[in-house]
Amino acid sequence: MIQFACECYGNYAGYMCQECREGFRGDNCTVKFTKLRRNLNTLSLMEKQYIVRVMNAARYVQSDYVIQNMTYSSDPSRDPQFVNASVFDYLAFLHYYASRMTNLGGNGKCENATYRMDCAHRGSNFPLWHRYYMILWEREMGKIAGNSTFSFPYWDWVDGGTTCELCTDEFLGATNVSDADKRIRTTNVISTWYVLCYILNECETCDPGISFALVRYPGNNTDEAARLPTAQEVDSFMALDTYDYPDFVVSSRPTSFRARIEGYSTIHGPTAKLKMHNLVQDSSNAF
């Protein structure tokens, strides 16, 4: 299916090696530079609105990449079909694709455990993949903004409470609590954003032409994610010396950094309910 591909050398990157890799810029990609991620609480209203404007613009800028049509009418492992996408949709699809069952073909029994090979979760790639994914978001937003130093703020959420400082009208949208589905208030442009590839069935098919409304109910998602992690819980995995253990999957020993940060164990030992990163993800968002 792929006939040609570029292999970049030095500090060059991109599908045609037309860009500099992260951390470098200049005509020959030899100039080092460092991005600064600031604490969310130090950003002014104007700076928050700038970030939202750039992200919203990504919905209307066509990506250099295409995404797969993964409906029942398309077999992505044998006869892949592609559609154009905005930068926003491309980045959203990328997370879905990295998290879905790998396209191994077979007899259509996609619900079989053999096909459940998640390359972004449940293994050693978890922290590394998500870190790269965030860098990719920043790079794409920087291109749209014409600002190579564009970066997202970091959220210091370690309080064990239920307050979502991101979920405000001045930034990523407050929840309309009177709405039955808990959609974002229409006073924020983010209320017009949407979810792609929402998992509706075992086969996890995705029609890029179908979107779903964003919903959010901080602190009220499930009993598994009703609060944010505490400082003690964060310290518990930061103090671990071992990154991961063989066989580098969910069943690996829980006393590793990766298992603890991904949520397969707590300070009290292994858990059947996902904790840690899911506490942050699901206590502040319920999609």
Higher pLDDT among residues 95 and 32, named by residue: 32
Each residue's pLDDT tens digit, 206-224: 777 778 888 887 766 555 6
Which range, 64-68, 69-73, 222-226, 270-274, is most confident?
A: 64-68
Each residue's pLDDT tens digit, 144-193: 999 988 999 998 877 656 778 888 888 988 888 888 888 888 888 988 98
Distances in whole angstroms, Cα of residue 23 to Cα of each of 19, 29, 32, 133: 11, 9, 6, 15
Q: d(Cα 70, Cα 77) in Å, to the nearest integer?
A: 10
Q: What pLDDT score was predicted for residue 88?
A: 93
Instruction: Give mean pLDDT, residues 59-68.
Output: 92
Distances in whole angstroms, Cα of residue 280 to Cα of each of 10, 48, 210: 37, 20, 27
Each residue's pLDDT tens digit, 233-287: 888 888 889 898 887 777 667 778 888 888 777 766 666 566 677 666 654 554 3
Q: What pLDDT score was predicted for residue 103?
A: 54
Q: What pLDDT score was predicted for residue 166?
A: 86
Secondary structure (DSSP) of 115-138: G---SSSSBTHHHHHHHHHHHHHH
Q: d(Cα 164, Cα 177) in Å, to the nearest integer?
A: 14
Q: What pLDDT score was predicted for residue 286?
A: 41
Higher pLDDT among residues 66 and 269, named by residue: 66
Global pTM value: 0.84
Q: CA angle 279-281-287, nearest 5°?
A: 125
Instruction: Give mean pLDDT, residues 200-207.
Output: 62
Which residue in 20, 247, 197, 203 sits closest to 107, CA to CA?
Answer: 203
Instruction: Give mean pLDDT, residues 188-206.
Output: 74
Each residue's pLDDT tens digit, 80-125: 788 899 999 999 888 888 877 655 554 545 545 444 567 788 788 8
Instruction: Give mean pLDDT, residues 58-65.
Output: 94
> Which own/partner pairs from 175-182 qualify as long-range (CB within 8 Å, at least 24 positions apart)?
175/216, 175/217, 175/218, 177/217, 181/213, 181/215, 182/215, 182/216, 182/217, 182/286
